[in-house]
Structure 1
Amino acid sequence: MADRKFFAGASIKRLRRGAGMTQVALADALDISPSYLNLIERNQRPLSARLMLLLADRFDFDPRQLATDEPGGGVEGVSRRLADSMFDDLSIDRSELEDWLAMAPNTAEAFVRVFDNKFRNQGGGELEAPDSIQLVRKEIERWRNHFADLDAMAETLADELRLGTADLYGAITERLRVKHQLAIRILPESVMPDLLRRLDLHARQLQLSEMLDPASRTFQAAALLAEIEAKSEINALIAGADLQDDTAKRLYHRHLTGYFAAALIMPYARFLRACEQTGYQLSLLERRFGASFEQVAHRLTTLQRVGARGLPFFMIRIDRSGFVSKRFAGASNASLVQSLYRCPLWHVHRAFERPLEIQSQLVALEDGSNWFTLSRAVQGIGSGAGGFAAEFAIGLGVSAELASPLSDARGVDLSSENGDLIGLGCPACTRSQCSQRSAPPKSRTLQFDAQERGFAPYDFVTD
C-alpha cells in the first residue's frame, strides 16, 4: 500500500460510525480538520501513512484490513473481473483502475455487482455452484478468515478436554459418548467404499472410514463436536452473512465447522506460541498438534486475533493441472491468491516432483511486492473414481519483509532484488522475453518482426 495512493473512505466511515463518533470527534482524535476528514471519507483525498497508523492505534486493527474493504475488492478484485474474455479487446492497466477506484468508487462497486450477477441462471434466480463459492469466499475474506468467537470457544473447549488426557482424539470420543450419546466406529473400506464419514443417528454412531489417517480422524470427530456444541455461534455467523442462496449457506457452514475443528486441534494461543518458538517450522507443528500439513497450513492463515496476531500467511491448493481448489488470502492481501491464473515459474508447480519436500522460494511480482513461499505436495484420501489417489500441492506464503522469523528463511537474503521474477499467469503477466510464456498478455497488442525471432513465443507492445 505504500507505493500508491490509498483511498479507504467507506472503511473509515464504517469504523467511525461503529465507534459512535462524529466526524468532528474523529478529526480531533487524528489531529486533522473535520473538512479534511470529510474529503477522505468521500475518497477525494488519499489516506496518508501517518493517519493509517493513527487509525490502527485508535481502533486496534491491522491497517491491511482496509485494503479488503475497498470498493469492488480493490484493484485486484476489479482486475479479476476484467480478466474475463469479454474484455480482451480493452487495454486497461493498473493505474487506470486506481484512478477509477479513487474518483468513482461507487461506480466500481456497481460494476462488480452487475458483473457477478451475470453468473445467475436465467431461470429461477438460483446461483450456480461456482458463484456460490465466490460468495462464500467474499464473506471469508471479509473476516480475513479469522472468526474470533469460534476461536475463543474452541480454545476453552480444548483446555477442558485436555484436563483429563493428552489424547485429544480420545477426549473428543469420550465427550461425544458421554455428553451426546454418540459413538465413533471405524469401518472397513469395503463397507464404506465411497465415503469418509457417515453420521448414523439411528445407531447413534459417527462412522469413519479406515482410510482416514489419525489427523483426519481427529478432524472429523472435532467437526461433529463443532456441529453440536458450536451450532448457535455458527448459525449466527451464517445469518450475519445474509447469504440468500442455500448452496452458499451450506458451503459457509462447512467452512465454519472445519474452522472450529481446526481451532480445537490447534488452540489459538498454544498454536501461535508454538509458531513463534519454532520459527513456524511446519513439520514440527504437525507433530506437536497431531495435524496434517494441509491443516497446519490453513491454520496459519487464521492468526489475526486482536493483540496477538501471527504472520499474515496466504494459502493456495492446486492440482496437477493448476486448478485451484482452496485459496485463503487471510490478512495477506496477496495477489498470488486472488489471481485467476498461476505462473509456471512459481515452485508450487514443482512440488509434485518431490512429494515429501518443502520447497522455499523468494518471488518478486510485477506490482513490486515480494513474497517468501513454501510449497509441498500432499495426497488425498482414498482412490475414488478411476482408482487414482488425489494429489495436490499446497502453496503457503508471507510478505518477504515479514519472513525473517521463519526457520525456512534462515540464511536467505530476502532483499527484493534476489526474488525470482514471476507473474500472475501468462494472460495477466506483462514481463517480456519469458521463454516459458504460453499465452500473450490480454492487456497488450502483439507485434511481429519478419526478420527477428526471440526466445519468447510472443512479442508485444510494452509501456
Structure 2
Amino acid sequence: MSDAALFAGPVLRRLRKRQQLTQAAMAARLQISPSYLNLIERNQRPVTARVVMQLAAEFGFDPREMQEDGSVGGIDGLARRFADERFADLAIDRDEVDELLSSVPQIAAAFARLYDSADPAARHGGDDPLVVSRREIERWRNHFADLDHSAEQLADEIRLSRGDVLGAITERLRYKHQLSVRILPRDVMPDSLRRLDLHARQIQLSELLSPESRVFQLALQIGLIEQRDAIASLVAGAEMYDEAGRELFARHLANYFAAALIMPYSRFLRACDATGYDLSVLQRRFGVSFEQLAHRLTTLQRVGQRGLPFFMARLDRAGQISKRFVGASGAVFLESEAVCPLWQATAAFGRRGELLVQNILVDDAGSGTAQWMTFAKAISGATGNADSLFTVVLGVDASLASDLASARWVASGRDEAMPIGLGCRRCHIVDCSQRAYPPAGRRLSFDRTKRLSVPFEFADSR
C-alpha cells in the first residue's frame, strides 16, 4: 500500500461510528492516543502499518477498504471538484468540504464518482499530460520515501557533506560509471543544457549553466542511471494512461532524486529547523538555486520526521502557473487558472532578486478561510537568460509562519492579511479596484448618480 493510500481518515471515522465508539475508546483499542487518532481521522497523519494491523486484529478490518477514500482524493481531491466554476455562486469553502467528507463520506464519494463520470478530464487530466503527471505527484503528496532514502545513503557514501559537492558527484560518475564531465561552449550545444555521449563516455554540459545548475544536472544524471529501476517501478504503478504523462512523471522522479541527493533529507531538515527555514542561508549552505530549494521544501513529509507543509508555484510574466506543487499544504487555490494582481507574486518581476513576503487571506468563493504566508522571488532560467524570467513562490499556512526567519518582520495575524481571490470570475471581494471582471453568480448594481472608486458594484443577493 502506497504512502498516499495510508491517508484514510474518513474510512476510520466511519468504522468508529459503526462500532459506536468514542475517539478515546477506539484509541485505547488501537493502543494510540486519542489526539493521534483525531489527527488520523482528519487526514493530518497517515495510518501506519502497526495501526492497520491493530485494526485488523480488533475489528476484522480489511485494509483494502482504505482505498475507498483514494477515489475521492481526500479533502484536497474533493475541494478541487467543488472549485469548478459551475459551483462558484454557491461559495462552498474548505471547511464545508471537510464537513461533508467527515460526516457523510459515502455521499462525498458518490458526488466524486458522478462528477468524474460527467467530466472525464477531471479524473484523468483529459489529454493534458502535465495535469496527468501532476495529479500523480500530488497523490503521493510529492514525497517518495524510497528515492529519498536512496539519495541519503548515496550522499553519505560519497561524503557530500564535505562541501565540494561538484567534485564528489563528478568522482562518482568517473569511478562508478566511467563517465567524465566536459563543459562545452554555446555554439557546440546551442539547444541543449546536458547531453550524454556514451561513445565518448562523457556528460556534456553547456557553459551557460550556472554553478548550481551544473551540480543539479550531474546529480540528475546519476539518478537516471542508478535509480532507473526504482523510477520505472513508480511509473509502472501510477494510474496513468497517457504516455507523455508517464514520461513527465518519470522526469519529475529523476529531478526529485537529484534534489534529494544535493539536499539529503535528515541533514536538510536539521538545517531548516536550526535556521528557522532561513531561505537565503539554506540556499548558500547547500549551494542551490531558489527554485531548487523551493522544490525541496515541498517534499518534507517523511513519517516521523516531517517538515513544514510548503506549497510551491512558478509563474511567468503573463500570470500563468507553469509549475505547482501542493504537497501536504492543501493549497487548493493553486488550482485556479487566474492569479490575483493583489498577490505580490505578480509584483516580483519588477523587483528582481528581492524576496517579497506577504500574508494573504484567500477568498475561496467568499469564504476567506485560507490564510498563507508566501515568499516570492523573480528568477532567471537555468542559463541566466534575461528573456527567461519567472517568479517562484513558496507558501505555508500562516499559523506556522510566526517563527520563520524570512517572515519575522511581517505581521502574521489574520487582520493584517491581504485578501486575494482566485481570479476575478471566482472572487467575491467587493471593494477591489483591481477587478477586471464581475464574479460569476453575482448580480451587478448600477447607480447613475455617482461614480464609484471600484469598477463594479454588486447587489446583495447572488
Pairwise TM-score range, normalised by the shorter structure: 0.7 to 0.9
Change in 2 beyond 3 A, CA 1:159/1:378: same
Matched, 1:274 2:278: no
Instruction: State the Cα RMSD in Å.
Output: 3.4
The Cα of 1:278 is off from its aligned counterpart by 1.0
Pairwise mapping of residues 322-333 of structure 1 onto structure 2 (< 5 A)? Answer: 322-333=319-330
Match of 1:452 among 443, 450, 453: 450
Which amino acid is the alignment partner of residue 321 of structure 2?
V
Change in 2 beyond 3 A, CA 1:163/1:296: closer
Pairwise mapping of residues 218-367 of structure 1 onto structure 2 (< 5 A)? Answer: 218-366=215-363, 367=368
How far apart, in 2, do the equivalents of 1:94 and 1:154 lie? 42
The Cα of 1:57 is off from its aligned counterpart by 7.1
Change in 2 beyond 3 A, CA 1:376/1:277: same
Change in 2 beyond 3 A, CA 1:392/1:134: same
Instruction: State the secondary structure of the residue aligned to 1:241.
Output: coil
Give the match for residue 70 of structure 1: 74
Pairwise mapping of residues 84-103 of structure 1 onto structure 2 (< 5 A)? Answer: 87=86, 91-94=89-92, 98=97, 102=104
Give the match for residue 5 of structure 1: none
Deviations 1:30-57, CA, capped at 9 Å, x for gaps: 5259xxxxxxxxxxxxxx9885236567
Gaps of 5+ in 1: 1-7, 34-47
Pairwise mapping of residues 377-416 of structure 1 onto structure 2 (< 5 A)? Answer: 377-382=378-383, 389-416=387-414
The Cα of 1:104 is off from its aligned counterpart by 2.6
How far apart, in 2, do the equivalents of 1:191 and 1:418 lie? 53
Would you say how many aligned residue pairs link Structure 1 and Structure 2? Answer: 420
How far apart, in 2, do the equivalents of 1:444 and 1:355 lie? 38
Give the match for residue 426 of structure 2: 428
Give the match for residue 368 of structure 1: 369
Instruction: State the secondary structure of the residue aligned to 1:332.
Output: coil
Change in 2 beyond 3 A, CA 1:95/1:361: closer
How far apart, in 2, do the equivalents of 1:256 and 1:115 lie? 31
Q: Is the 8 A contact 1:30 1:54 kept in 2?
A: no
Give the match for residue 43 of structure 1: none
Instruction: State the secondary structure of the residue aligned to 1:389.
Output: coil
Gaps of 5+ in 2: 28-33, 50-68
Change in 2 beyond 3 A, CA 1:462/1:192: farther
- Worse overlay, 408-417 or 98-107: 98-107
Give the match for residue 441 of structure 1: 439
Change in 2 beyond 3 A, CA 1:392/1:72: closer
Q: Is the 8 A contact 1:126 1:245 kept in 2?
A: no
Matched, 1:198 2:195: yes
Identity %: 46
How far apart, in 2, do the equivalents of 1:91 and 1:370 lie? 21
How far apart, in 2, do the equivalents of 1:353 and 1:95 lie? 33
Which amino acid is the alignment partner of residue 232 of structure 1?
D
Deviations 1:297-322, CA, capped at 9 Å, x for gaps: 11111111111111111111001110
Q: Is the 8 A contact 2:136 2:239 kept in 1?
A: no
Give the match for residue 59 of structure 1: 47
Change in 2 beyond 3 A, CA 1:359/1:383: closer
How far apart, in 2, do the equivalents of 1:153 and 1:340 lie? 36
Q: What TM-score does the superposition give when structure 1 sets the normalisation length? A: 0.81
How far apart, in 2, do the equivalents of 1:164 and 1:137 lie? 32
Q: What TM-score does the superposition give when structure 2 sets the normalisation length? A: 0.82
- Worse overlay, 157-166 or 323-332: 157-166
Change in 2 beyond 3 A, CA 1:454/1:50: farther
Which amino acid is the alignment partner of residue 339 of structure 2?
R
How far apart, in 2, do the equivalents of 1:9 and 1:289 lie? 32
How far apart, in 2, do the equivalents of 1:137 and 1:326 lie? 9
Give the match for residue 208 of structure 2: 211
Matched, 1:108 2:111: yes
